[in-house]
């Protein structure tokens, strides 16, 4: 395992990086969509299926008990990683989208037609649509915090939107399109002053920042494993125990029950109340391995490295004539969204792919942001712990080559 931030050792831990794409060494800059997986995580998956494959919580035989211990051990790793008070507050889900939908659905009980839900203008669709659906079910009104030209949220308008009618405020910790790091702690405190609950979409934060849910005082915090070096199809919903006890279950089925008769069923205690069905045991265990891997390297070291990459890439990109970067907030994470005058982002992405360089193009599941800036989409480079300045140099050369071909 990597003991200090040695980029060569870190890259060696990721098998997928040592291949060619279209005859060129892979330069992977689509980490905002999903990050690559270290060997330790891949091995955790293989080890589960090779040695302890069994359903959890339900078996008296040894394999079931070993699998249960491994998965519940991963739950404790998640709890410690985000400093949650109890493992009862750690719900395993399939990802951030699933986590948000659990709360948006269950929260129906606490929302009426006179109430309001507040989200922000820089949300991923997964933190927009579930709240729209909640408002359609209940007759509540959806309010939106505007975004300023630099990609920061308009905090003055946010303060004006908050009222006694506000039942839920939901916004991201870090924007997947703009890289903006929101003032989460302050925004949560403001919402609590009017009695509102708060859900934070932390999908883009966990790979880059140390998150302490107690310090933030978040009521709910959602994130995905595949953004933080774990497998796809794995996620977490943190919820304060007092809230999770009040909310009704989102799904019914096995595991989430205490008793079942044809007349009535009663529900299991937390966290199982929200975990109906057979869980992604291998994925949850691998999430624990990913957390171990990140902590072994050190989140502060990762953040420092990625911050240096963003500054370096931004400086190089701005030297290209016709370059426009969207999202220039003072506090920003490892994402750069950009366009070049006269160049379509899709065409740019196709040419970069031919050079072995992976970036994202389009609206990044944030169409309202694109509408706000009057564009159809952007090209997006996003960084992970294993990226290097050499990757960026190849990326810049590729952008310049594509520009010369397309103009």
Asked whether residue 290 falls in the same domain as residue 304, the answer is no
Q: Which domain holds residue 241?
A: 43-295
The beta-strand segments (E) located in 207-332 are 220-224, 235-239, 257-260, 265-267, 323-326
Res. 195: pLDDT tops 70: yes
Q: Closest by alpha carbon to 345, among 317, 316, 376, 373? A: 376
The H-or-E segment that residue 28 falls in is strand 27-28
CATH code at position 138: 3.40.640.10
- Does 1 score more than 50 pLDDT? no
Mean pLDDT score of the chain, rounded to an integer? 96
Angle subtended at Cα 125 by Cα 120 and Cα 128, rounded to the nearest 5 degrees: 50
The per-residue pLDDT for 4 is 67
pTM for the complete prediction?
Answer: 0.96
CB atoms inside a 10 Å sphere around CB 240: 20
Q: What is the pLDDT of residues 342-378, one digit of tens each?
A: 999 999 999 999 999 999 999 999 999 999 999 999 9
Handedness of CA 337, 342, 346, 352 (dihedral sign): negative
CATH number at residue 26: 3.90.1150.10
Please identify every residue annotated as catalytic. Answer: 365
Domain-ending residue, one of 295, 312, 329: 295
Q: Which of 241, 275, 295 is the last residue of a domain?
A: 295
Q: Is the pLDDT of residue 305 over 50?
A: yes
- Tell me the HSE value of 213 on the side-chain side, using a 13 A CA sphere: 30
The SS3 assignment for 79 reads: helix
* C-alpha distances out from residue 216 to 22, 247, 395, Å: 45, 21, 36
List, in sequence order, every residue forming a beta bridge with 266; answer none if it has no partner: 259
Phi/psi for 163 (5° steps) reads -160, 180
Domain membership flag for residue 36: no
Q: In which band, very low, low, confident or very high, does the pLDDT at 255 lie, cut at 50, 70 and 90?
A: confident
What is the predicted pLDDT for the residue at 56?
95
CA distance 49 to 176: 33
Buried b (16+ CB within 10 A) or exposed e, 45-66: bebbeeebebebbeeeeeebeb
Domain boundary pick from 233, 267, 295: 295
Which pLDDT score, from 0 to 100, does residue 339 have? 98
Please indicate, yes or no, whether residues 124 and 100 belong to a single structural domain of this protein: yes
pLDDT attached to residue 254: 75
Q: Is 405 part of a structural domain of the chain?
A: no
149 and 223 within one domain: yes
Tell me how many helices (H) and strands (E) the chain has. 14, 17
- At 264, is the pLDDT very low, low, confident or very high (cuts 50, 70, 90)? confident
SS3 at position 320: coil
Other C-beta atoms lying within 10 Å of the C-beta of residue 139? 11
Q: How many other C-beta atoms lie within 10 A of the C-beta of residue 128?
A: 21
Asked if residue 25 lies in contact with residue 356, where contact means CB atoms within 8 angstroms, the answer is yes
- Residues 255 and 343 occupy one common structural domain: no
What number is the average pLDDT over the span 3-24? 93
Give yes or no for a contact between 124 and 369, defined as CB atoms under 8 angstroms apart.
no
* Spatial separation of the C-alpha atoms in residues 277 and 1, rounded to whole Å: 34
The pLDDT value recorded for residue 374 is 96
Q: How many domains does the chain have?
A: 2
Please state, in angstroms and rounded to a whole number, the distance separating the CA atoms of residues 395 and 355: 9
């Amino acid at each position: 395992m990597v003991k200090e931030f040695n980029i060569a050792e870190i890259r060696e831990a990721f098998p997928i990086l040592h291949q060619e794409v279209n005859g060129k060494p892979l330069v992977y800059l689509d980490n905002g969509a999903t990050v690559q997986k270290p060997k330790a995580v891949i091995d955790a998956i293989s080890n589960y299926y090779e040695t302890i494959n069994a359903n959890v919580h339900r078996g008296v035989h040894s394999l079931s008990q070993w699998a249960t211990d491994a998965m519940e051990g991963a739950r404790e790793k998640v709890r410690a990683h985000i400093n949650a008070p109890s493992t009862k507050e750690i719900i395993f889900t399939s990802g951030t989208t699933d986590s948000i939908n659990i709360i948006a659905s269950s929260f129906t009980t606490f929302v009426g037609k006179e109430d309001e839900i507040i989200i922000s203008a820089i949300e991923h669709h997964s933190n927009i649509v579930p709240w729209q659906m909640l408002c359609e079910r209940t007759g509540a009104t959806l309010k939106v915090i505007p975004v300023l030209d630099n990609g920061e949220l308009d905090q003055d308008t946010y303060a004006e939107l908050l009222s006694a009618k506000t039942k839920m405020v939901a916004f991201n910790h870090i924007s997947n399109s703009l890289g903006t790091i929101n003032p989460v702690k302050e925004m949560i405190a403001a919402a609590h002053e009017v009695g509102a609950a708060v859900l934070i979409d932390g999908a883009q934060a966990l790979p880059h920042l140390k998150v302490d849910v107690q310090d933030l005082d978040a009521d709910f915090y959602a994130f995905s494993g595949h953004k933080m070096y774990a497998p796809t199809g794995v996620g977490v919903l943190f919820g304060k125990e007092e809230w999770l006890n009040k909310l009704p279950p989102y799904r019914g089925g096995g595991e989430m029950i205490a008793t079942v008769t044809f007349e009535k069923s009663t529900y299991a205690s937390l966290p199982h109340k929200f975990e109906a069905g057979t869980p992604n045991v291998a994925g949850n265990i691998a999430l624990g391995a990913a957390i171990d891997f990140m902590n072994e390297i050190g989140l502060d070291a990762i953040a420092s490295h990625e911050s240096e990459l963003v500054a370096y890439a931004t400086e190089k990109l701005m030297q290209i004539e016709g370059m426009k970067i969207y999202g220039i907030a003072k506090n920003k994470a490892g994402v750069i969204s950009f366009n070049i005058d006269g160049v379509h982002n899709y065409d740019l992405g196709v040419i970069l792919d031919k050079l072995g360089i992976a970036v994202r193009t389009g609206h990044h599941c944030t169409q309202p942001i694109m509408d706000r800036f009057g564009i159809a989409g952007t090209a997006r480079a996003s960084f992970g712990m294993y990226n290097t300045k050499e990757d960026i140099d190849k990326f810049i050369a590729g952008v310049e080559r594509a520009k010369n071909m397309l103009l």
